[in-house]
Structure 1
Amino acid sequence: MFVVASILLIPLLTNQIEATTTALLFGARALVSATFIVACIYAPEVYPTSIRGTAVGLTTAIGRIGGMICPLVAVALVAKCQQTYAVILFQLVILGCALSVVLSPFETKGKNLVDVFEDE
């Protein structure tokens, strides 16, 4: 979903009509929001019970802070007629998130939730 969201932003590197811009931004935002929801479901399966609340709470807080900073950066860049830089910034962040998902070493399929970390 991250990769598709990034692809939806590519046409915005050039000026588009307002309806196209709105549709592409809506699609990208929907996909990024969907991945956030998936992360909120997946993350508790990765962490053991002993740290699950803290770990999920901390990552959610960081995500929320990013959600507050993002509009400030986007508005500042667009207001200074730097829409291309705003789109590139968002694409880099989205692709960075996609890379972190691909490199995640955790597979939870068929595994039980753990209560504490076990030494491997």
Structure 2
Amino acid sequence: MHKPKDQRHQFEIDFFESILRRNPSDTDVIELLGGLYTKEGRIDDGLKMDRKLVRLLPSNSTAHYNLACSLTLKKRKADALRSLERAIELGYRDVDWLLQDPDLEGLKNHPAFKALIDRIKS
């Protein structure tokens, strides 16, 4: 029997939330929770974790990339493009994933997204 989508990761979410309550600056847990929330459709909670991670790790390209994904899911294209550009400035280079990541679907036809892809490739 399959759990409904909103229950699929609840055990892990509960577990990591309990760790985060004891250590609110655990960046590994923050990143994991952000991903779990997003998988469960809890986009606002995922965005909150991604923002927190960027505050704690301002020079981490993956943190900025994950923030760009959450912002895209919230239909905040301009903010998402800025975060994605920052991720690239900090060294994010996985073009293949950028082009297939479903979280970025809302940006893929945007001229600025295409320019960022071209910038990475060159």
Give TM class, smaller chain.
Answer: under 0.3
Relative contact order (C-alpha < 8 Å, sep 6+): which is higher?
A: 1
Which has the greater radius of gyration?
1
